[in-house]
Chain A
Amino acid sequence: MAIAMTDNQTAVTDRPQVHVLVDRCAGCQECVIRCPAGALDMDPGRWVAIADDERCVGCRQCVRTCPFSAILVTGPALAGTRVTTEVVHPEPLLSDVREVRQGLRGWDEALAEAQRCLTCPDPTCVRGCPAHNDIPGFIAAIAERDLDKAHAILRRTSVLPDICSRVCNQSAQCEGACTWSLAGDTPVAIGQLERFVTQERPVPPPQRGRDADLSVAIVGAGPGGIGAAWALVEAGAAVTVYERDPVPAGLLGWGIPDFTLPQTVVSRPWGQLEEAGVTLHCGAEVDAEALEQLLADNDAVVVATGASVPVRLPIPGADLDGVTDATTFLKTAQAAFESDDGVPAWLTAMGLHPADEAGKAAHVLVLGAGNTAMDVARTARRLGLSATCVDWLDERFSLARPDELAEAREEGVVVRFARTVSGIEGEGGRVRSARLTLTRQEQADRPPKVLDGQPPETVDVDLVVMAMGYRPDPELAAQLPGTPVRRQAHGVPDRQWTASGVLANPASAFAFHNPVGTLALGREVGLQAAAFPVRDRLWVVGDALVGPSTVVEAMSQGRRAAAALLAARPRRPGKRELERSRRALVCYASEGGHTANAARSVADELADKGLSVRMLPIDRVGPAELAAADVLVLGSWVKGFVVANVGPPPEVRAWLDRLPRLGGMPVALFCTYAVNPRSTLAQMAKSFEQRGARVVASSALRHGGNKVAAVAFARRTLAGVRETEGATAGAVGVS
């Protein structure tokens, strides 16, 4: 193997070429350890990276991960040709709701596509996947023709691989974050490979675990509820699910048409869950009062009620007859398809006429061009109507699945971007036309501007469907403090994520120039928030937690909440506590060592009293660490000059600002000071109380000789925990 040191720009050839800027290469090996092709090595003499062009595949992972921008890659990415799958549009479309997208045609295609995966050492696709499926792992299992292994790998993070592979917008998730996609080429067909696994071998059912003496009520049988129920039943919990609709699956059932997600696939999870022992009550509406009752009757409650209230655009004419929303449209249309003469009856009920002799059909205007809007418009086409979608986003930054958009257009849907509906006009109380105003969007992360100065266009319409998405029920949301959580990451991005390079090329063309890394980081906020109860013993997941999101996010959050719930082992009032050691997290911000010493004294005392103690500086404490604690102790030094600007230091303030909701978590606070702590503790306590935590003890410790005071503080903490939980001394391990 010839190691070629290429150090200057060379002509573009049919092979990629790596150029290492040796002046700036520091030999950190970030590129070497992440190169999927093994094309990078180190020159031990100069301690700079060297490249083997013969091995380079042009994925540019090195370019994205080099901290000093010391590597350039020119030439093509050797991504190979993606296997294309069939899209079968029924002819005629009318009333035909058979699945349109077909899967891979057998092992040959699956193996060919699996070979395109580079099995990246730091797979960006895994970070792009909201569930963090081990994508290279299951694809490697396919390559080995081991579907059981593939299922086992998928099962670690997902219980809906058959559904997610059909409904996920992979272009903005795993496939958008695929290294080929980030390099500007066509990604591996991850969704199709995942679907292939479930096509060839059915998703294995959950195995009920040994009785865990834990009863959990789940409100909502959508993907969030499925994710939570699956994990809980496998852990041996007694799970009861309350669903408002007559059939389970929530939006999966009525919100996604059969031609995208067949009912046979939708019904699979609940069939398996009921068989595993999950008790399902359909048609059971849970209001605020019922929620309190569920909390009283169960050890924990998981709310997964989704976002079922359709968003309506407040424009003139929105209340006219003939203006409806996506929920009504899709639910009634689904019912229409299920009966033989349902479609004409549906048209009559909606005040529409079928296509006339000249073939002119009633015109449906769909507001929005996201996935819901596509579903509505394509359903409209199957009802014999003509459909136009309008979206104020620029097409370059559309949020729809690229393949779904293409399919909709193939089926005759007119999709018009960069337009918004500024008004609807009617005649005799019935909608007749809509005014479209132009918009302009320059960047993916900036909202479009409405060009009011431009003359509006008027289009004749017979039905207007508002399909801009859904929002959670505001009445129930009022019972869920801290919701909705904004899926937006703040501060310096997670260091591991930055190092992986997923954030380095935010605008993947495959993902409609949407910043896949930024979107993924935002989703992480939601996933992490799901681990924390919003109130004592009350977890919220899915759209109810973060607002309108996706099936895979809801499922992952359900699993994450279930894992946190199982670790916390909450007990309903009056129930005997489990004999187990509470987990205490002692975290601290120390400048000169006094606070760290005091934290150590507190930790030692808590450990002596039987708690399982973990002690970390606050810069190492994130949501995962917080979620793994039953009791939190925070110590901080005091910043300020005697009387001026006295309070927690900036790093503690910033840390407090980023705290997730800690519903009901007992928290103890201390600070170490030299002269006067003033309101330091009060400021810290306020932050925790705003997040639903309970401050059970606080103490200001003077520098030096504070071990006795720290021990006393630790004992007060234990007493406070015992008091607020109303538990026995043995429950918290106090001897």
Chain B
Amino acid sequence: MAVYVEDRESDAPADPVSTAVHLQPTRRTGLAERFSPTDPEPGLELTRNPHVARFIRNRKFQFLLIVPNQVIFWTVIFVGIAGTAIPGLNFGAAITWYVWFCLVFVMMVVVGRAWCAMCPFGGFAEWIQRRTFWRRTQKTLGLGRKFPEPLARLGFLIPVVSFIVLTWIEEFFNIAGPGNPADTSWMVVGIVSSALIFFLVFERRTFCRYVCPLSTLIGTVGSMGSVAGFRTKDREVCLACQTKDCMRGSEKGYGCPWYTWPGSADSNLSCGLCSECYKSCPEGNVGLFLQRPLTSVVAPRRRRADVAWGIAALWGLVLFQQFNATNAYTSLDNWLNRYMAIPHYPNPVDYLGIIALGALLLAGVAWLVSRGLGRRDVPETYRDSFVDRTSRFRAFFVPMAYGLIPVVGADYFARQLPKFFKHSARVVPAVAHIAGFMSTSSTIYGFHILSNGWIVVVQVAVIIAGTAAAAWATWRIAGRELVPVSRNALGVRLTTLSVVLACGAAASVLYVLMHAAS
């Protein structure tokens, strides 16, 4: 007698509901072309390891990632407000600005949205929303609204705007300097409060997906990472699935909080690594996969304008953060502040102006390339869709922006290095100071990992590495996506490569100028 292992067949009477269901066939046209470049190799599945699989399947997985950060950031809040006013000796300011921001960038470049999986801000709000730390509950707290459709259509643009606003606030109040440690605390309180409000008003991780200031930055820079995220093992199983537990949730897990379906994910852009889909899938058809670095930059077939404009704006912002250290900027800012009665740096006009200039410069170059090298018969489609609209300009601008991700990411990372190399050791006395030990006179307080000169060298090296990665990515992207819409195949590849090199050179030069100005 045969043993039917995990078999759904039985001699029970046919379910009358199933008998009456006649679903239409799923569409498969273009499936292989669409996904084969981005599908991770089966051998790169981390969850094939039973210990990894067991840990990730455990509902406490994300809780355990969040808890340490939760402890740290509530400590940041309390110590920042109640602790010493000396920034370098205050744990809140020291851990946040000397270490945390730099580590987040390392995680982005290596893993992707690892920070999102362990984020204490969204994590805290999600605990409240779900009314549990890790369990799968049925009732949630809050209104569970959908994010308004007109705003959701903007995709990843709102997070860029919120990042620019938050950065201006941070610069204006000199929070990240770091200045008064209490300001750091209030900033964190502000982020947690905003997250909580959004989590209580809207469903899932609407805040993280559509509002969080770091969302676009982590998503785009994280696409360089070597973790593909949670993906389908066999797309046919996903297409045959009629319940989509990974999207709707099951008894074992919630529906994807990030509005991502493992069955169609082609990058790690929107995978928050929360593992809910892995837990929910009744077929065990979801796995956590690694990928080659830059795969999510180079390989995806679908390019999105919101992501491209987000990259351009982030490029403008990081250029501002470099340019603001030069004497020329100081003169400009003082001049504008005098006329506009703004008390001090940064003047919002020059702040937004330089960001816009950086973004539009990139777009302008893309426009010139499209006009100079593009074919005239590039179709204009999806006119009503901001995210997917195609035109001759977009056919060049969007892929070029994707290719620049490594430069932009490297530039942001390099921007964080001085604080890390010069002051990260201060975290030790800052921790000790909570218990009443150590002070600014401690030897370790003044310890620098690298001197200023070496820091610039490292910064330029990081930019060179980012530029090299961007050059490789752009060459590949141009070959696949720009050549078909260009009149001159080699010309367009060389031109876009030149744009990448120019961006890398500009960033490097600005670091040297910053060093000279300081």
Contact = CB atoms under 8 A, between A and B. Distances in A.
Nearest to B245: A495
Given A33-B242, A69-B146, A607-B3, A122 B21 contact: yes
Nearest to B22: A121
A217 B243 CA distance: 41
Contacts of B301: 45
17 contacts: A22-B385, A22-B387, A24-B152, A26-B259, A28-B261, A28-B264, A33-B24, A42-B27, A132-B20, A134-B16, A495-B243, A498-B243, A567-B11, A581-B1, A614-B7, A615-B6, A651-B251
Interface stretch (A5-13, A185-193, A315-323, A468-476): A5-13
Interface in A10-30: 19, 21-24, 26-30
Contacts, number: 206
Given A7-B382, A28-B247, 18 more contacts: A5-B382, A6-B384, A21-B153, A22-B382, A23-B152, A26-B259, A29-B239, A32-B27, A35-B24, A44-B27, A48-B388, A121-B23, A133-B16, A134-B20, A156-B16, A615-B4, A619-B252, A620-B6
Interface string B452-485: 0000000000000000000000000000000000
Interface stretch (A325-333, A407-415, A623-631, A677-685): A623-631
A8 to B, nearest CB: 5
B16 A32 contact: no
A533 B238 CA distance: 38
A67 interface: yes
Contacts of A136: 20
A126 B138 CA distance: 26
Interface string B9-51: 0111101111111111111011101110000000000000010
Say what secondary structure dominates the interface of chain B. loop
B497 to A, nearest CB: 26
Given A35-B24, A134-B16, A67 B149 contact: no
Contact of A33 (B6, B16, B26, B250): B26
Contact of B23 (A33, A46, A613): A33
Interface of A: 5-9, 19, 21-24, 26-30, 32-35, 38, 41-42, 44-48, 67-70, 72, 121-123, 126-127, 131-137, 156-157, 491-492, 495-496, 498-500, 563, 567, 581, 583, 591-593, 600, 603-604, 607-608, 610-617, 619-620, 624-625, 627-628, 650-651, 654
A30 B244 contact: yes
B155 interface: yes
Contact of B8 (A8, A620, A654): A620
A203 to B, nearest CB: 18
B149 A9 contact: yes
B57 to A, nearest CB: 8
B374 interface: no
B249 interface: yes
B1 A607 contact: yes
Given A8-B384, A9-B149, A603 B251 contact: no
A68 B247 CA distance: 7
B249 A492 contact: yes
A50 B155 CA distance: 18
Nearest to B303: A46
A492 B6 CA distance: 22
Contacts of B371: none
A613 B13 contact: no
A67 B16 contact: no
B47 to A, nearest CB: 14
Contacts of A127: 17
A628 B34 CA distance: 43
A459 B23 CA distance: 57
B159 to A, nearest CB: 12
A44 B7 CA distance: 33
B153 A7 contact: yes
B153 A8 contact: yes
Contact of A603 (B5, B12, B24, B135): B5
B15 A624 contact: yes
B10 A132 contact: no
B248 interface: yes
B50 A592 contact: yes
Q: Which 5 A-B pairs have the closest CB atoms?
A: A44-B30, A26-B261, A67-B247, A628-B12, A132-B16
Contact of A613 (B3, B12, B31, B135): B3
Nearest to B35: A47
Contacts of B20: 123, 126, 132, 134-137
Contacts of B259: 24, 26, 68, 70
Given A126-B16, A496-B243, A614-B4, A620 B282 contact: yes
A32 B24 contact: yes
B244 A67 contact: yes
A21 B149 contact: yes
Contacts of A498: 243, 248
A613 B4 contact: yes
Contacts of B239: 29
A499 B242 contact: yes
Contact of A614 (B10, B16, B261, B382): B10
Interface of B: 1-8, 10-13, 15-27, 29-31, 33-35, 50, 54, 135-136, 138, 146, 149-150, 152-155, 238-239, 242-245, 247-252, 255, 259-261, 263-264, 266, 282, 301-302, 304, 306, 381-382, 384-385, 387-388
Contacts of A34: 23-24
A166 to B, nearest CB: 22
Nearest to A6: B384
Contact of A610 (B1, B153, B154, B244): B1
Contacts of A28: 238, 244, 247, 261, 263-264
A33 B241 CA distance: 11
Contact of A32 (B19, B26, B150): B26
A8 B386 CA distance: 10
Contacts of A625: 10, 12
Contacts of B33: 44
A32 B24 CA distance: 7
B1 A619 contact: no
B153 A499 contact: no
A563 B511 CA distance: 80
Contacts of A583: 11
Nearest to B4: A614
A592 B49 CA distance: 11
A132 B17 contact: yes
B369 to A, nearest CB: 23
A27 B21 CA distance: 21
Nearest to A524: B17
A27 B264 contact: yes
Contacts of B17: 126-127, 132, 496
B281 to A, nearest CB: 11
Contacts of B135: 650
B302 A45 contact: yes
Contacts of A21: 149, 152-153
Contacts of A611: 1
B302 A46 contact: yes
Contacts of A46: 302, 388
A368 B388 CA distance: 58
B13 A563 contact: yes
A628 B23 contact: no
Given A21-B152, A156-B19, A627-B12, A613 B384 contact: no
| Most chain B CB within a 10 A radius of its CB, from A491, A612, A625 | A612
A499 B251 contact: no
Given A613-B1, A651-B252, A7 B27 contact: no
Nearest to B306: A23
Given A499-B248, A592-B54, A616-B6, A5 B385 contact: yes
B261 A27 contact: yes
A30 B246 CA distance: 13
Contacts of A131: 16
A624 B9 CA distance: 11
A409 to B, nearest CB: 36
A603 B306 CA distance: 55
